[in-house]
């Protein structure tokens, strides 16, 4: 049995990859999915107790709720549940959600929307004590689409990603 021969470039790339792996693991580098958050190490349960919405768009509640659920689950921050006896509960307060058409076509149809979204998230422990608040978090983006709901869903996902990033910050 003969072993395959590798070119010198393949050998150099392999050595560089091994060196980078050893260097990064030696300096304490870890993936963000392994870091603790305000919700613990990933085995805690959390529920979204309420989504407050003071805007004229009732559908944004479900978009924000499902985006938060998906992002927390995807990052293994906690186990999402609907149970009243969860370790943590979350209240999301949407204070601003506006949709403005920005560019109209020749037939007066909207070709681009500018969306503004601002909300605050508060996390409570099982004793109903506030343990974390995100503070007012805002995002504004323009989307080249003729569907306002699609644009609203996209900006909700982006701002939820930022919110969950904040949950990982322990400093």
Digit-coded pLDDT (tens) for 89-125: 999 999 999 988 866 666 666 678 889 999 999 999 9
pLDDT at 34: 58
Average pLDDT (34-45) is 80
Decide if 51 is inside a domain. Answer: yes
What pLDDT score was predicted for residue 80? 92
Overall average pLDDT of the 18-45 stretch: 68
In a domain, 113, yes or no: yes
Question: 59 in a domain, yes or no?
Answer: yes
Q: Indicate whether 3 pLDDT > 90.
A: no
In the predicted structure, residue 33 carries a pLDDT above the cut 60: no
> Is there a domain that residue 16 lies in?
no
Asked, for residue 30, whether it belongs to a domain, the answer is no
Q: What is the CATH number of the domain that holds 112?
A: 3.30.160.150
The whole model's pTM is what? 0.73
Counted domains in the chain: 1
Distance CA 148, CA 125 (A): 36
């Amino acid at each position: 049995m003969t072993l395959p021969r590798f070119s010198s470039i393949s050998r150099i790339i392999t050595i560089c990859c091994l060196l980078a792996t050893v260097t990064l693991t030696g300096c304490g580098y870890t993936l963000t999915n392994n870091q603790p958050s305000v919700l613990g190490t990933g085995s805690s349960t959390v529920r979204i107790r309420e989504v407050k919405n003071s805007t004229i768009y009732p559908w944004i509640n479900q978009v924000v709720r499902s985006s938060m659920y998906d992002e927390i689950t995807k990052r293994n921050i906690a186990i999402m549940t609907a149970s009243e006896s969860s370790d943590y509960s979350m209240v999301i307060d949407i204070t601003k959600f506006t949709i403005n058409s920005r560019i109209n076509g020749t037939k007066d149809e909207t070709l681009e929307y500018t969306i503004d979204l601002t909300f605050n998230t508060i996390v409570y422990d099982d004793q109903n004590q506030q343990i974390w608040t995100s503070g007012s978090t805002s995002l504004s983006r323009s989307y080249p689409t003729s569907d306002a709901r699609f644009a609203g869903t996209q900006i909700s996902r982006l701002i939820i990603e930022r919110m969950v990033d904040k949950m990982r910050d322990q400093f």
